[in-house]
Every structure is written in structure tokens, then in C-alpha cells.
Structure 1
Amino acid sequence: MKTVQVGNLTLGGGKSLFLLAGPCVIEGYERTLEIGRRAKAICDKVGIPYVFKASFDKANRSSYSSFRGPGLVEGLEILKAIKEELQVPVVSDIHDITQIDAAAEVLDILQIPAFLCRQTDLVYGAAATGKCVNVKKGQFMAPKDMSNVLKKMEESGNQNLMLTERGFSFGYNNLVVDMRSFPIMRSFEYPVIFDATHSVQLPGGAGTASSGQREFVANLARGAVASGVDGLFFEVHDNPEEALSDGPNMLYLDSLEELLTDLVAIDKIVKK
């Protein structure tokens, strides 16, 4: 299995579990920083590498009036400040090729949203920066077809690549997780991450917004770790009911330590 370099962290390659976590979207510097600070402290306590996550722009909202975040310029300034304050790598979504260069100046991982995983110019352009690129598998994609996405990025000469499972569309407003996708995508030799919180999302389930089933996050995460995933992706918040995006599927920060403790124990059994 390949490893990837993310800031000063080496991830994957059969090493310990790692976590990408933070709020769905930047909700101002202070609150976003505090969420990252608490998540980092928890990861330090349970002994796993941590990468801070928050979106500077949620470009795929259900409603035009939905909160999208501070945007590229202000958002990257906030992420840069959080990166320096917490001394951790940062990851955020990019949505088109015009964002690549500016994002690569700040981000340690360029993340491709699931709906955009087949956009050739976007995935190639992200990989051409030489930065680590994390591509979320589309809700419409078979896991074996993600090998084509990897090949597009490898054409740039970059092998600092990861894939993320986040559920497959199963009828209207519902996602399911096929546990077979983990060994299939890991067979491509790159690290595979499980996005446990978006996998319990109910897209458009609240009419003009997505709903979610937070109560199933722990069950799916345990199953994914038992299947041998390399890393986890959680959206977390101190009070999801107040969150400006994706509240119904986000984890309470207060529940993160207990869940990670379980997951680290499972991971040690699987990878021993």
C-alpha cells in the first residue's frame, strides 16, 4: 500500500488510522478554530494523526439561499490562520479549476467533491499541483470505476492520492454504504477513507436542505474500520442543531472521543 504525504504527516501504507474532521463549513474564525482545537486534542489523546477540515464554499447546496461560507479569499485566509494556530494540515473542497492555484497555496489536501469526481480538468489540475488530492467517490459511481479517476491524476505524475467512500444513491433522498467498496478501492494501492457523516446524509431530505441520520454514524464507522480503511472523515460540531450546513448528519464533538477510542481499538486488531 502506498503512503501519502500531508504536511508533515505520512498517512496510509497500513499505518494507524487517521482522521479528517471539522465543521461542514467555516462559520467564522473563532468558532471554527475552537472546533478544530477540540478535535485535535481528542486525536492527540487517542493517538491518531489529525487533519483539520472545513469548506470555504459549499457550492452544491439544495437552495440558492442556503449558507455557503465565506468564499475562496476569506475562507483560505481563515484556513491558513487555523493551520498556523493548531499546527495541523488542512483540507477543503475545490469546485472548479479557477480555485486550484489559490487553494494549493494554503491547503495540504485538495479535496474533490463527490459530484465532481469525473470532471477531468478539475481532478487532473488538482493533481498537477503536486499536493495530496482526496477524491470522494460519486454517489453514482461503482467503486471499481474510481480506478479511472486515479489514472487521470497519475497522468500528472502525482501519486500523492487518496479516495473516499461516502455512500451510494439508493432511491430518492437516501444513501447506502456497500462495504465491498473498501477492499475494491484499496486494491488500487492508495489510501481509502470513509466519510461516515455524509454517508448518513439524506440528500434533499428536508426539502430545501439535506437531512440526515446521525444515529447510524458509529455503526457504519465501526464496520468500515473493521473492513480495513486507512482513514476516517467526520464532520463535527459543538452544537449541530446550530450548524449552518449539514447539521442533521454531523457528530457532536462531545461524542467524538468515545467513538474514536472504539475505532482505534478495532483498527489495531485489523492491522496488527
Structure 2
Amino acid sequence: MANSAEKIRLAGNQNVMVCERGTMFGYNDLIVDPRNFEWLREANCPVVADVTHALQQPAGEKLDGGGVASGGLRELIPCIARTAVAVGVDGIFMEVHDDPLNSPCDGPTQWPLRNLEEVLEELIAIARVTKGKKPLRIYLTPFKE
């Protein structure tokens, strides 16, 4: 990821950020690995968690007019967002809708607008107490009091 960000900078764009969106696991699941947030910092630019994309499920629901729609795990949005904030991401991307069940796109992974304030307040509180961006010093010598 650091190489990709550097290539963009070398092309003249200094406004770069990197994003964790989940990695395909098996046939039908995206997995967010919190280690990626730490590794993405090597790009020396803001790290963003795409919380709602990471909870999409592959297309499978047949639509009346043809085609298929993706599913999602909306109920896990707070879990993934809390994890990302606790390890020190710089930003959260989250799709929000005032009527997710009737959204024309990605409804199963949209957070209800009426619940947004509550989850944002919690994420802000986590961000205030976490040391996620500061590496902890690891002492490997034997402990002696």
C-alpha cells in the first residue's frame, strides 16, 4: 500500500489517503483485519475504514426487474467502526440513509440516519481514550522490580 500511495504522490497528487475495505474470505464474506490499519500507516497518509463496504455480502437476492442485489451485515457496523477507531484510524466511511430498507443501492449495509448520532458519539468517546495511533514501547528484557 505504501508503494501505491507513493506512486500517486510521484504523479503529482499529494492529497492521498488509504482505505481498508475488507478482504474476501471464502465465497461470501469480507473480513476486516485490524492489523491492516497498522500496516496502512506505512503509506504516511491518512487511513480510512470503509465500514459499510466491509460488511457487504455478495450479490444473491434476485430482483423483480432482473439482476441481483447484494446483502449485508448492517448490525455489525458498530463493531467494525469501534475496532477501527480503537486502533487509531483517521476517518470512517459509512453509508447512511434515512430509509435503508427502501434505498435503491446498498440498503443492507447502510446505517439508519436516526441512529447515526448515537454511534458517532460512541466513536468519538473511543477516539478520545485510545492510544491506537501511538506505538506502545515493548521491552523484551527480563522484568525486574
TM over 0.5: yes
Name the aligned partner's letter for residue 236 of structure 1. V
2:56 equivalent among 196, 201, 206: 201
Please state how far the C-alpha of 1:151 moved relative to its aligned partner.
2.1
Gaps of 5+ in 2: 63-67, 135-145
Q: Using the alignment, how far apart are the partners of 1:240 and 1:147 within structure 2?
A: 35
C-alpha offsets along residues 153-194 of structure 1, whole Å, 9 cap, x if unaligned?
012122210011111000112101000000100122100001
Please state how far the C-alpha of 1:148 moved relative to its aligned partner.
2.4
The aligned counterpart of 1:233 is: 93
Q: Between Structure 1 and Structure 2, whose CA radius of gyration is higher?
A: 2
Question: What is the SS of the residue equivalent to 1:204?
Answer: strand
Question: What is the SS of the residue equivalent to 2:18?
Answer: strand
Identity of aligned residues (%): 49
Please state how far the C-alpha of 1:206 moved relative to its aligned partner.
2.6
1:269 aligns with 2:129: yes
Given that residues 2 and 42 in structure 2 are in contact (C-alpha distance below 8 angstroms), is that contact kept between their aligned partners in structure 1? no
* TM-score, normalised via structure 2 length: 0.83
Change (3 A) 1:205 1:213: farther
Q: Using the alignment, how far apart are the partners of 2:18 and 2:81 within structure 1?
A: 16
Question: What is the SS of the residue equivalent to 1:203?
Answer: strand
Name the aligned partner's letter for residue 216 of structure 1. L
1:181 equivalent among 8, 14, 36: 36
Summarize the alignment of residues 87-166 of structure 1 with structure 2, pairs less than 5 Å apart.
146-166=1-21
Q: Using the alignment, how far apart are the partners of 2:95 and 2:20 within structure 1?
A: 14
Name the aligned partner's letter for residue 77 of structure 2. V
Name the aligned partner's letter for residue 122 of structure 2. D
Q: Using the alignment, how far apart are the partners of 1:181 and 1:228 within structure 2?
A: 12
The aligned counterpart of 2:141 is: none
Name the aligned partner's letter for residue 39 of structure 2. I
Q: When the two structures are aligned, how many residues end up with a matched partner?
A: 127
1:246 aligns with 2:106: yes
The aligned counterpart of 2:143 is: none
1:191 equivalent among 34, 46, 55: 46
Change (3 A) 1:225 1:205: farther
Q: Using the alignment, how far apart are the partners of 1:169 and 1:233 within structure 2?
A: 19
Question: What is the SS of the residue equivalent to 2:54?
Answer: helix
C-alpha offsets along residues 190-243 of structure 1, whole Å, 9 cap, x if unaligned?
000011111110021435121001000001100110010000001000011110
Name the aligned partner's letter for residue 31 of structure 2. V
Gaps of 5+ in 1: 1-145
Given that residues 202 and 210 in structure 1 are in contact (C-alpha distance below 8 angstroms), is that contact kept between their aligned partners in structure 2? yes
Q: Using the alignment, how far apart are the partners of 1:230 and 1:199 within structure 2?
A: 17
1:210 equivalent among 67, 70, 89: 70
The aligned counterpart of 1:170 is: 25
* TM-score, normalised via structure 1 length: 0.45
Could you list the structure 1 runs, at least 4 aligned residues long, displaced by more than 6 angstroms after superposition: none
